[in-house]
Structure 1
Amino acid sequence: MKPIIEILPTQKIVYMRNVGPYGSVENFQMMQTFQQWIEGNHLGDRLKESGILGIPLDNPQQTPPEACRYDLALFISEREVANGLVQERLFTGGKYVVFEVPHTTEAVERFWLTIDQQIQEKQLRLRNSPIIERFKAVIGTEQICEFLVPIEG
């Protein structure tokens, strides 16, 4: 895993939320629904620019699986508004180390098994924010997932 540093802006997002176990079928179905909403609202360019963010809001080691919140989000401009199936809020940006991983069960599991070691080896100082998944490919194409690890600085 060869990481890069990226700074995400503080910016308005639209999002859909699922409450339940991370990695569930419902989260996959929500991704399909969110992508359809993006297409239906002519935000495909935004998807290409910044990708869809997957934001786990709870620590699964401290929160029961049925109570874990997971948002799928897309950056939008100040003049754009949420409608229909989505809500909007402000995403607090910051500095991230980005790890690119094939979007397979095995590769994602390997990432989670080795992330602590990666953090130690690279002497990263973590910020108290969730690790974000970013998806830039459309479902049905070769899948790459980026993990954005929040760091100080």
Structure 2
Amino acid sequence: MTTKPSAQAARAEYARRINRVLNYIDAHIDQPLDGAHLADIANFSRFHFHRIFAAWMGETLGSYAQRRRLEKAALRLACGSHETVLETALATGFQSGEAFARAFKLKFGCTPSAWRDSTPQRLKAQAAAIGQPTGGQESNPDQVFGNLHQEGEGVFGESGGSYRPMDEIAMEVRIIDLPKARVAYQRLIGPYGPAIGEFWRAAIAPWMHSNGLGDQTCYGIGYDDPSITPVDKCRYDACVEVPAHFVAGGQVDTQVLPGGRYAVAAFKGKTEGLANAWTWLTREWMPSSGLQCDDRPCFERFSAATAFDVRTGEFSCDICIPVRAL
């Protein structure tokens, strides 16, 4: 006799399957996306998959894929790439420049070329807004972590902080090759900010310790730009490096973070300063580096055992940005 899974276990399994589909879509955004194949990836009925996806994600599969294509295109245009608008369109799954331009203007209210040209002004406005009160702090994409052994207030640095001018920030940036990393992860979908710290503290830290992973390398991956993606759709993965024999279960799944060339900057300071560091790297350092971002995810990498200094309240991590030549 089989045992019926609990409602919580069933939801965890649904989350794992849907996340595999979301990961696949991002990895194949330049290709046609077949619903039947995506249903097979999720191991759901082909007949019911579209209904399941829409109920779970709050948008249809077609709407989700179109949104992700446009968001990825907006990021490519903003990263200072020398590719043409047509090349951006084809790289994000559009069949023609005309179709891309129409869809882009409908979503963002301007042409792709105008979006790219206005990037410096948009980044400046975003930087100036850091630390301004927004209620839920939805404009602050801090990715935070604290001492797993620490209890109490202030561990995750949840205040928004205040903006510092970019010329006050100086970070040493190394261009290095990072190996692939097999990680176990749990995904949070919703606004960045304090919710991420609570996610690590309430869900990830206890899970790590119960599985003997308290000393492993961790990765925080924010996939979306809140100025482009609706804040309630932003995706964040809390990742922990695991050995090859590790078997995932519950809400936890595994994935492989791609290796390759990254720009890596060591951050040390209050967690509210992370947003300033990210802004400096993307607004100041990247345009003068002779490099550009590619489509691999950016992340923060840190040691769970040593990331947080209890004496100083400082957080240490490597900010890692995937790069390629212009």
Q: Structure 2-normalised TM-score?
A: 0.42
Residue identity (%): 30
| 1:72 corresponds to | 238
Taking a change above 3 Å as real, the CA distance of residues 140 and 36 of structure 1, as seen in their structure-2 partners, is farther
Task: Kindly indicate which of the two structures has a greater share of residues assigned to strand.
Answer: 1
- Of residues 119-128 and 133-142 in structure 1, the stretch that sits farther from structure 2 once superposed is 133-142
Given candidates 196, 208, 212, the residue that maps to 1:27 is 196
| 2:209 corresponds to | 39
2:176 pairs with 1:6: yes
Supply the distance in 2 between the matched residues of 1:89 and 1:12 (Cα, whole angstroms): 6
Q: Is the 8 A contact 1:103 1:145 kept in 2?
A: no
Query: How far 1:140 moved relative to its partner?
Result: 6.1
Larger of the two Rg values belongs to structure: 2
Q: Which amino acid aligns with 1:96?
A: Y
2:290 pairs with 1:123: yes
Could you tell me which runs of 5 or more consecutive residues in structure 1 were left unpaired when the two chains were aligned: none
Supply the distance in 2 between the matched residues of 1:35 and 1:138 (Cα, whole angstroms): 13
2:321 pairs with 1:152: no
Structure with the larger RCO, 1 or 2 (CA within 8 Å, 6+ apart): 1
What is the Cα-based RMSD across aligned positions, in Å? Answer: 2.1
Given candidates 257, 262, 278, the residue that maps to 1:96 is 262
Given candidates 256, 279, 291, the residue that maps to 1:113 is 279
Runs of 4+ aligned residues of structure 1 deviating over 4 Å after TM superposition are: none
Task: Kindly indicate which of the two structures has a greater share of residues assigned to helix.
Answer: 2
Supply the distance in 2 between the matched residues of 1:87 and 1:130 (Cα, whole angstroms): 17
Could you tell me which runs of 5 or more consecutive residues in structure 2 were left unpaired when the two chains were aligned: 1-170
Deviations 1:23-61 (A, max 9, x none): 2x221111122122112111234x1xxx21011122322
Alignment coverage as a number of residue pairs:
148
Q: Is the 8 A contact 2:308 2:316 kept in 1?
A: no
Residue 221 of structure 2: SS of its match in structure 1? strand
